Structure 1
Amino acid sequence: MYLTQRSDDRRLTMPTNLRLCWKEARPMVQGIFALRFCCAALLANHHTNGAVWAKVAGVLGCWVAATWAIYLLNGIADVVEDRENGSIRPIARGALPVDQAKSVVVALAAGAVGVAALISPIVCLLVVLHLAAGIGYSTGPRPLKGNVPGFLGAVVALGGLTYLCGWYASGATEIGAPLLLFGGAMSLWMAFGGATKDLSDAAGDRLAGRRTLPVVLGDRAARLAMAIGASAVGWGFLLTALVWAPSVVPVAIVVCAGSIALAIVVTGNMSRGERFCRRRPYGTFMITQYAAHLTLLVSLAFR
């Protein structure tokens, strides 16, 4: 049983509140968003050699705050599903009062927008659009998370805006082919690979009325669709990079290999059974993301 009423009646100290809010926002997800931003900034600097790193750091701070707010809000909005699915995140298990989490969301969002406005109007616009996509994903009369097209659109937008903001923060004025291909492919990877999370959350999604792939198609067909989608991104990225952007071919090879691994895992018996097993495709997706971005950083360092 979750002690939700007791947790909502007590007040946490600020350090404890912030620590739990950070944990609720999924540090691994926060880390990959920061890495996306940094990869785009470094890729832009490689082409322009004009980055002002103090500005880049300031914009990154705004982006981290906004992303933290987005995923903390998602935890607040997903409490019914999370409890049904047996999540151990702080809000679901009653360790983090919802009212205190909401206060942190407001403070983070306001701080991100306020500081971004001091940096430049374009940065402020990008942060506002990022927050709007995240808020639309989790809340409102028809949250985007509740259906497949909405999920795909919101996730691609969150990824694309992150790469675009990192690129702009470095002082680039035009979007080059490497960023367009890398950012586009990895944003699509977020959508098609990230959908594998729904395999372990189907029970809670049904309870909340969400129309995810496993709910709409059933488990077997959803797995096949996820394997096809991830494979299309991986192979499409590699073939396009070979023709249009050789500089990101090493990254494309990693993503293509990850798509093969994900297809094997998601359609095999190793990802069936207990919730831990059903999370394996999502784990493969996340490992591929981190490996791809770290590969880009290494390749840039040796140019």
Structure 2
Amino acid sequence: MYLTKRSKVEQATVTNLRLSWKEARPVVQGIFALRFFCAALLADHHTNGAVWPRVAGVLGCWVAATWAIYLLNGVADVVEDRENGSVRPIARGILPVDFAKSVVVGLSAVAIGFAALFSPVVCLLVALHLAAGIAYSTGPRPLKGNVPGFFGAVVALGGLTYLCGWYASGATEIGAPLLLFGGAMSLWMGFGGATKDLSDVAGDRLAGRRTLPVVLGDRAARIAMAIGASAVGWGFLLAALRWAPSVAPVGFVVCAGSVALALVVSSNASRGERFRRRRPYRTFMITQYTAHLTLLVSLIFQ
């Protein structure tokens, strides 16, 4: 009987860990890993080459930290997630909040502990990544609760990821390709990522969050999102053609994605039921993945 009880406990733990990963949104975890890897690959092509075993080790730390950040976000967003009809595990009540919190603590400790084995700089970058994620979701005034806080935290999470990927390669000086690619894609996270709020207005109002649609109203928020995304897309393309031709193919992708996002967010295709209101966010995510995969292919075959 003891073995049976132990087996059930172990099975429950494995199930809850799997649900914790699902809560942290695998599609988001994937794009963070791609950001990190693309920065390392840029360093490999524009410096003296990357130390790939080190890159893999630091990436493991970064994945643990990012998992912790988004799992904590699920814990903090449970009220609005339920109001918005989210199907994530915590909102559905199938992942215990206490277990999720324990996983957050464990992942954070593992991320910082192993990062310290690589170097003080890596440890600092991982700690800053966690700090930005924690400040985004928790505290007396979570950064997610207002537009400037959201934008600053999201751009910081992106910028730190690109910076750590570059540094993990062994590079010491930051090059123009990283500044342009990492800066543009971090801004894309801020402007494009805000489109998720279009489908979450009811829950955000309930939680007291001052998102763009809550503050400006639906129509004005959509116009602002279209303008912001277009500025990033066209600005990135023109800057890449002028100063960093190696990332110009990515510039074309992001520019095309910004046009698509502006069209979708401005049209009736993204109005109505929640699935339709999520279309601008899906356009944003597809553009992100396509941009990073384009960079990988273009650098590998250079």
Which amino acid letter does the alignment assign opposite residue 34 of structure 1?
Answer: A
CA distance, structure 2, for counterparts of residue 110 and residue 62 of structure 1: 10
Kindly report the root-mean-square deviation, in angstroms, between the aligned alpha carbons of the 2 structures.
1.0
Aligned equivalent of 2:185 = 186
Is 1:160 the counterpart of 2:159 in the alignment?
yes
SS in 1 for 2:89: coil
Which amino acid letter does the alignment assign opposite residue 94 of structure 2?
Answer: A
CA distance, structure 2, for counterparts of residue 51 and residue 285 of structure 1: 30
Give the C-alpha shift of residue 13 in structure 1. 1.6
Is 1:133 the counterpart of 2:132 in the alignment?
yes
Q: List per-residue Cα deviations over 1:166-209 (Å, max 9, x = no partner).
A: 00000111111111000000000000000000000000000000
Alignment of 1:196-275 (within 5 A): 196-275=195-274
Give the C-alpha shift of residue 302 in structure 1. 1.1
Q: Is the CA contact 2:48–2:171 (under 8 Å) kept in the aligned structure 1?
A: no
Aligned equivalent of 2:60 = 61
Aligned equivalent of 1:92 = 91
SS in 2 for 1:13: helix
Aligned equivalent of 2:6 = none
SS in 2 for 1:175: coil
Which amino acid letter does the alignment assign opposite residue 134 of structure 1?
Answer: G
CA distance, structure 2, for counterparts of residue 296 and residue 112 of structure 1: 27
Which amino acid letter does the alignment assign opposite residue 58 of structure 1?
Answer: G
TM-score (norm 2): 0.96
Give the C-alpha shift of residue 54 in structure 1. 1.1
Aligned equivalent of 1:169 = 168
Percent identity, aligned pairs only?
85
Which amino acid letter does the alignment assign opposite residue 68 of structure 1?
Answer: W
CA distance, structure 2, for counterparts of residue 230 and residue 160 of structure 1: 17
Alignment of 1:71-90 (within 5 A): 71-90=70-89
CA distance, structure 2, for counterparts of residue 50 and residue 219 of structure 1: 47
Aligned equivalent of 2:293 = 294
Give the C-alpha shift of residue 61 in structure 1. 0.1
Give the C-alpha shift of residue 11 in structure 1. 9.7
CA distance, structure 2, for counterparts of residue 140 and residue 11 of structure 1: 33
CA distance, structure 2, for counterparts of residue 105 and residue 226 of structure 1: 32
Q: List per-residue Cα deviations over 1:87-128 (Å, max 9, x = no partner).
A: 000000000000000000000000000000111100000000
Q: List per-residue Cα deviations over 1:63-87 (Å, max 9, x = no partner).
A: 0000000000000000000000000
CA distance, structure 2, for counterparts of residue 96 and residue 70 of structure 1: 16
Which amino acid letter does the alignment assign opposite residue 236 of structure 1?
Answer: G
CA distance, structure 1, for counterparts of residue 97 and residue 162 of structure 2: 31
Which amino acid letter does the alignment assign opposite residue 166 of structure 1?
Answer: G
Aligned equivalent of 1:47 = 46
Give the C-alpha shift of residue 36 in structure 1. 0.1
Give the C-alpha shift of residue 12 in structure 1. 6.9
CA distance, structure 2, for counterparts of residue 280 and residue 101 of structure 1: 29
TM-score (norm 1): 0.96
Is 1:15 the counterpart of 2:3 in the alignment?
no
CA distance, structure 1, for counterparts of residue 282 and residue 11 of structure 2: 32
**How many residues in Structure 1 have an aligned counterpart in Structure 2?**
294
Alignment of 1:115-130 (within 5 A): 115-130=114-129
Q: Is the CA contact 2:261–2:280 (under 8 Å) kept in the aligned structure 1?
A: yes
